[in-house]
Amino acid sequence: MQSQTQKHLDNLRSEDSELQNQAFSHILKETEKPVDWAYEVWDQLIDALRHKDNHVRAISAQILANLGAKSDPKNRMQKDLPKLMAVTKDERFVTARHTLQSVWKIGAFNRKMQEPVIDALAYRFEECATEKNCTLIRYDIIQDFRNIYDEVKEEAIKRKALELIETEEDLKYKKKYATVWKKTV
């Protein structure tokens, strides 16, 4: 791993928010493509999903999603997906939402993880019914399905998303979720 990358990884936990944001931006961009250092930091990122600072939790989740999508030849995400999905229930909704909005990458770019991600998202859609921000969570999940579909073009993904939308009892939200699929339905 290059020293510049290591410096940015170290700065992800900085208390200086500007330094932390710069590091996050750099690492996020770097992990949009395969990297050879994923497993050097994997366990640290998994541990950081429980960090006291919600910003560190969100950053770690988003980077893990990128690594799980493009830099996981050993398929470690198979074991760690439940830990990542747990952050979609974070006490800080912004952290939960950032995590939820990044999980799709794993299912879109890591073919071995496509089915587990789809299943985890579908389960999360169903279980969030009693949560305060249920409609936002469900919208993000439907958008995740759309993002995966746009990458892999598998009709089963679209069908699953449409099935989930049909389970929504409130017509207003059912219509809102359906807007995500308007161009393909």
Residue range 42-61, pLDDT digits in tens: 999 999 999 999 999 999 99
And the tokens for 144? 């995740």
**Which position has the higher pLDDT, 183 or 67?**
67
pTM for the structure as a whole:
0.93
**Are the beta carbons of 162 and 185 closer than 8 angstroms?**
yes
- Other CB atoms within 10 A of residue 143 CB: 17
**């510049």: which residue's tokens?**
4
User: Given a cut of 70, is residue 185 above it in pLDDT?
Assistant: no
Backbone angles phi, psi at 122, to 5 degrees: -65, -40
**pLDDT of res. 1:** 64
Q: How confident is the model at residue 184 (pLDDT cuts 50, 70, 90)?
A: low
User: Given a cut of 70, is residue 37 above it in pLDDT?
Assistant: yes
**114-127 and 134-152 helices, crossing angle to 10°:** 160
**């940015």: which residue's tokens?**
8
Residue 24 identity: F
User: Given a cut of 70, is residue 7 above it in pLDDT?
Assistant: yes
What is the average pLDDT value for the chain, to the nearest integer? 94
Task: Please provide the distance, in angstroms rounded to a whole number, between the alpha carbons at the two ends of the chain.
Answer: 45
Task: Tell the CATH superfamily of the 3-181 domain.
Answer: Leucine-rich Repeat Variant (1.25.10.10)
How many Å apart are CA 119 and CA 112, to the nearest integer? 13
User: Given a cut of 70, is residue 143 above it in pLDDT?
Assistant: yes
Q: How confident is the model at residue 68 (pLDDT cuts 50, 70, 90)?
A: very high
Q: How confident is the model at residue 140 (pLDDT cuts 50, 70, 90)?
A: very high
Residue 142 identity: I
161 CB-near residues (< 8 Å, 6+ apart): 142, 145, 146, 149, 180, 181
